[in-house]
Amino acid sequence: MNWINESCVTVDMFQLLNEGGKLVGEKPDIPDDKLLQLYKQMIFSRVFDERALKLQRQGRIGTYAPFTGQEAAQVGSAAALDKGDWVFPSYREVAVSLVRGVPASQSLLYTMGHHSGSGDPDAHMFPVQIIIASQTLHAVGSAWASKYKKEKQVSVAYLGDGATSEGDFHEALNFAGVNSLPVIFFVQNNQWAISVPLSSQTASKSIAQKGIAYGLTSIQVDGNDVLAVYETMKKAVQLAKEGKPILIEAVTYRQGPHTTADDPTKYRTKEELSAWKQKDPLLRMKHYLIHNHLWNETQEEEETAIAEQKMTEAYQTAIQTPRSGLDDIFQNVYHKKTSNLEEQQNSSKRGEVSV
C-alpha cells in the first residue's frame, strides 16, 4: 500500500539573501536602480507603520494593524506585479498599497473611518477586506472574469496564515485549480493568527504544500528576503498568465501586535521576538546594498528624513480632508442604486451625521 503522508512532501524554502544580507543563491538579474527603489519603498513602509502606531496611541486615528517585519513580503511581491493586475488585500497590506501608488494619506483616511480610504480603482486595489479569507473568493471571481474576457491580467489575494484555516480559502483554491485561473494566493505566514501560533493552525509542514491537493503550482519563499520574494512573484505572474494558479507562502514575522487592540506580550516570548528581529528584512537588504557599494549611512539618514517628511505631509492631507457624511456610504454600493438602497438612504435621513 502506497500511503500518501508528510514524508512524501518535500518543501525547500527559496532564499537569495541570508540573515546577514549575503547572497546564498545565484545573483538575481535586478538592475541597481530597482534594488534601491525596493529598499527605499521598504524604508517608507517602515516609517509609515511606526508613525501610524504612534498616531493611534495618541488617539488621532482608529484601530490599526501594524506590519513591521513584513515589508519585504509586501514590497517585493507588489513591485513584481504589472500595472493592470488586480490586488485583493486584507487589512494589513499598507505597504502593498503604497507600492501600487495609493497615497499614504488615503491609507490614513481608512484608519479614520473615511469612506474613500479603502480601495483605489486607479491602482487596481480592491477595498480592504476584514472578513478573514473572503478576499480569496473575490480574487478568484476576478481571475475568472479575466479568463472569460481573454485579458492578460492576474488577480492576487493577500492573506495571513490564519486565513488558511477558513473554508473560503479552500473553496477558492479548489475553484482556481479546477478552472485553471490566472490567480495568485500570497500567504504572509507571520507565525501568529492573533494569539494562535502556526503550530496550532496547521499540522502540515508548510502552508505551501496545501496547494498541491488543489492542483496549484506552489512555493515557499523567505518572506524577509525582498529579492527572493520579488523574483518569486515575477515568475508567479508569468505562470498565472499561462493559466496556472499559484500559491505562495512567504515565511515572515509580525514584530508588533496583531492590531493596536492586541497585547502580544500575553502570548509570545521576548526571546522569540528577539530571534526574529535578527532576520529583520530592512537590515538584511541594507547590509546587501552596503556590501555592494550601493548604499551608506548618510543615504540611510537622508532617505529616512524624506520618509518622515512625506508622512507628515500625508497626515496633514488626511486631517484636512472633509469628514465623511452618512450619504457617502450609499454612493458606491452599486453602479446604479437599487430601490432598496434608495429606501435605506431616505430612511436614514434624520439629520446629517458625520462618521
Dist CA 50 CA 81 (whole Å): 26
Strand pairing class (246-251; 183-189): parallel
Dist CA 27 CA 17 (whole Å): 9
Ramachandran area for residue 191 (φ above 0: left; ψ -120 to 50: alpha; else beta): left
Write down the pLDDT at residue 355. 44
Write down the pLDDT at residue 352. 45
Write down the pLDDT at residue 82. 97
Write down the pLDDT at residue 347. 86
Percent of the chain past pLDDT 70, that is, above it, reads 98
Catalytic residue set: 254, 258, 267
- The model's confidence at residue 194, banded by pLDDT at 50, 70 and 90, is very high
Write down the pLDDT at residue 354. 45
Dist CA 234 CA 349 (whole Å): 49
Mean pLDDT computed over every residue of the chain:
95
Tens digits of residue pLDDT in 90-119: 999 999 999 999 999 999 999 999 988 889
User: CB-based contacts of 113: which residues, under 8 Å, 6+ apart?
Assistant: 62, 324, 355
Tens digits of residue pLDDT in 4-17: 888 888 899 999 99
Helix axes 134-148, 167-179, angle to 10 degrees: 20
User: CB-based contacts of 266: which residues, under 8 Å, 6+ apart?
Assistant: 195
Q: Work out the burial of residue 104: count CB atoms within 10 Å of its CB; fewer than 13 is exposed, 13-18 middle, 19 or more buried.
A: buried
Closest among 226, 298, 258, 278 to 71, alpha carbons compared: 226
Q: What fold does the segment set 6-324 form as a domain? A: Rossmann fold (3.40.50)
Q: Work out the burial of residue 203: count CB atoms within 10 Å of its CB; fewer than 13 is exposed, 13-18 middle, 19 or more buried.
A: exposed
Residue spans per domain, the chain: 6-324, 326-355
Write down the pLDDT at residue 351. 53
Dist CA 299 CA 320 (whole Å): 32
Write down the pLDDT at residue 3. 87
